[in-house]
Amino acid sequence: MTLHIDIPDENLAGILARAFRNRSFLAGFVITALVAAVAILSFFWTPYDVTRLVISDKTQAPSLAHWFGTDHFGRDILSMIMVGARNSIAVALVAVGIGMGIGVPLGAFAAARGGIADDVLMRLNDLVFAFPALLSAIMITAIFGPGAFNAIIAIGIFNVPVFARVARAGALAIWPREFILAARAAGKSRTLISIEHVLPNIATLLLVQGTIQFALGILAEAGLSYVGLGTQPPMPSWGRMLFDAQTRMVVAPWMAIFPGMAIVITVLGLNLLGDGIADILDPKSRRQR
């Protein structure tokens, strides 16, 4: 689903001006754009082919030929990080999509209906929250088989209650407003009001939460791949690279250092971006976590 971001009563120029003065937003935007650019670039070009194993080049330290060194199969670490970027982004993005696609309608529905429907949905939310997300993701991928697809599902499921809660809280604050009353007086249905008036007004909240969940999704994917339950080789993934590095820390520490830094930079960029957006669009907003 697409949420069109409707910023009421404010000109775009003013917001852009504030955006460029916000350090957090600027830094986050630049980092995120860079990571995305690297991921896109990897489709067309990488310094080396990540599927070719050159055993004679194995575990080479960083050099001019291999900036980040090579792994135990002689693959170029920089190239693997580039390809890994698109894998991480894809998994986290789809997982956020699942969370929003299911969670937002549920939360909006709960807020619009109230009463028993609201109670039941919120109790179900509590139920999902009682399961430590990572443990359950491990259980799901272990049961239904390891792989990127099941990792997406497992991470996505735990995004659902997060978005449901944010959407509900946001919508509850919108419902008592006068323009909603006007829409109801005009005879619009609750569903229509939710779509036309409530959603646009909570879009920024959802956008901020989306960037946070995106960052968490990247961390979760890395964790699952690290324990061998996420993305499977030969597809390079940051978590899997760290798993391979673990037993070779003494001879090839670069195998661990660079993929980890890729994760840190990506997550940092997304978090800064989320903070920045929250600041710009609503200086008083307190981030939900």
63: number of Cβ within 10 Å? 10
From the list 119, 173, 124, 153, the residue with the least C-alpha distance to 224 is 153
Element (H, E) at 1: none
Stretch that binds another protein, among 9-17, 39-47, 90-98, 256-264 (CB under 8 A): 256-264
Stretch that binds another protein, among 5-13, 55-63, 168-176, 241-249 (CB under 8 A): 241-249
Query: Which long-range contacts (C-beta less than 8 Å, at least 24 apart) are formed by 126-133?
Result: 128/157, 128/158, 128/160, 128/161, 129/161, 131/158, 133/158, 133/220
Distance of closest approach, residue 90 Cβ to another protein, in angstroms: 18
Peptide bond into 234 cis (omega under 30): yes
- At 132 the three-state DSSP class reads coil
Contacting residue, 85, 108, 180, 272, with another protein by CB under 8 A: 272
Stretch that binds another protein, among 5-13, 139-147, 152-160, 163-171 (CB under 8 A): 139-147
Cα angle 221-222-224, degrees, rounded to a multiple of 5: 65
Contacting residue, 13, 55, 143, 185, with another protein by CB under 8 A: 143
- Give the nearer residue to another protein in terms of CB position, either 108 or 270: 270
Q: How far apart are CA 25 and CA 283, in angstroms?
A: 13
Stretch that binds another protein, among 66-74, 107-115, 196-204, 261-269 (CB under 8 A): 261-269
Q: Mark 188-227 with x for binding to another protein (rule: CB under 8 A) and - for no binding.
A: ---------------------------x---x--xx--xx
- Are 216 and 223 spatial neighbours (Cβ–Cβ below 8 Å)? no
Q: How far apart are CA 240 and CA 138, in angstroms?
A: 15
Contacting residue, 245, 273, 277, 281, with another protein by CB under 8 A: 245
Distance of closest approach, residue 260 Cβ to another protein, in angstroms: 4
- Give the nearer residue to another protein in terms of CB position, either 49 or 126: 126
- Give the nearer residue to another protein in terms of CB position, either 233 or 253: 253
Q: Is the sign of the CA dihedral 92, 97, 103, 104 positive or negative?
A: positive
Residues contacting another protein: total by CB under 8 A:
41
- Give the nearer residue to another protein in terms of CB position, either 48 or 158: 158
Q: Distance from first CA to last CA of the chain, Å, rounded? A: 23
Contacting residue, 55, 56, 250, 283, with another protein by CB under 8 A: 250
Q: Which amino acid would we find at residue 239?
A: G
For another protein, the binding residues (CB under 8 A) are 123, 126-127, 130-136, 138-139, 142-143, 215, 219, 222-223, 226-227, 242, 245-246, 249-250, 253, 256-257, 259-260, 263-265, 267-268, 271-272, 275, 286-287, 289
